[in-house]
Amino acid sequence: MNLKKIAFIELDTHAEIAANFMELMDDSEEFVVDYYFSEKILKSIGKHQSNIFLTESSEVLNQLKSKNYDLVIIGTVHRYFNIFEQICEKFNTAIIAHNLNFTKISKLQLFRNIFKKDFIYRLKLLLKEDLLSATDVFKKAKNLLVLDKSLVQQNFKFLPLFFNKFNEKLASENFTIVIPGAVSQARRDYKRVLKILNQKVEVERRSREMLVEDAVSEEERRSTEMLVKNFQIIFLGKAKGKELHWLENYKNSSPENLSIKYFTEKVPQPIFDEWMNKADVLWCPIQQETDFFSNNETYGKTKMSGNIGDAIKYGKFAFFPANYHSDLDFIINQNRNRTNEILDLNGENSYNFQENFNKEKIRRELENVLKTLI
């Protein structure tokens, strides 16, 4: 059987996407894949295989020329535009797009945005990496790919890469809410999180006091106390600056039936996995409006939240703001009348992640998409 040859390039940021692609394609009987990773990505993935090649922007084009690939996939195009433009010109190239508006930005707007933020870094992109050719890179690619089916629109194809790896909940004494991701108010509305928690735990505290007061014996008092939930909320990402200050103050004044945990350093992967597996529910209070390179992007419309991949991987229901568009059944859109639901779930999933996002099922779907790209 003549296997099709694919090159997958990741030099910049999305190591977890490259790792998913690698894990899915390792067992493929239809494709053979070579991976070209920067030192940073290689270190993050932590694998050393004969089909993984250490590279950098100045080397990758020559490395590709020495082999006859049917398809080249670029995992991230947020820099090295001069190199990626040449690759798109010489190879059948598909690009994974993480910010859809950025793929359409004009040269004039790119130039103007240099002066809005991170001036030295952006000037380097202009002078050394041909920043103004960014839009040309996306135009010259044969295909543009998105990782969330709800983002599919004209000129974009869906690339299935997320599959369920963990499906057993680790035991936890408390009702455990996990908010995955770096603790940044610019990306997630943590002020609203703390406000909702304050309201809910106060209701629970009053309920407990009333039940205990009405108890007629010590045994009944203890049993009624157990009926009221104890909550713990895990801010599963590095906290710093004003957000760290908020969490420190909140922890010192939080009620007895609520405990919080946060991290001041990057969370190691084993610790991240442990807390995600303990979660009864994920809470993803993302800010809908964001930007990339000072260009407006909208979560759920032009940009995907990585928390969707988290929910699939760990088999968890996830609460998102009401304005986040998703057709996925395990995404619960939070609105004014359902706010308390995030703290009232019993932690039992009725959604079958293993059936819907089984690794073999997703691999077959991925292979079918890859066939359309060659």
- Taking the chain (374 residues) in runs of 10, the rounded mean pLDDT of each run is 92 95 94 97 91 96 94 98 97 98 96 96 96 97 96 93 87 84 84 76 66 55 51 91 88 79 93 93 90 94 94 93 85 63 56 92 97 96
Domains of the chain by residue range: 4-161+359-373, 175-356
CA dist 148 and 132 (Å) reads 27
Residues 6 or more apart from 141 whose CB is under 8 A from it? 74, 88, 93, 94, 95
User: Could you tell me whether strands 258-263 and 281-283 are parallel, antiparallel, or unpaired per DSSP bridges?
Assistant: unpaired
| Beta-carbon count within 10 A of 297 CB | 18
| pLDDT for the residue numbered 227 | 42
| pLDDT for the residue numbered 70 | 97
| pLDDT for the residue numbered 342 | 56
In the chain, DSSP finds a helix count (H) and a strand count (E) of: 15, 15
- The matching CATH number, chosen from 3.40.50.2000, 3.90.75.20, 1.10.3720.10, 3.10.129.10, for 4-161+359-373 is 3.40.50.2000
CA dist 119 and 115 (Å) reads 6
Residues 6 or more apart from 175 whose CB is under 8 A from it? 229, 230, 231, 232, 280, 343, 347
The answer to whether 180 and 262 have CB atoms below 8 angstroms apart is no
Fold of 175-356: Rossmann fold (3.40.50)
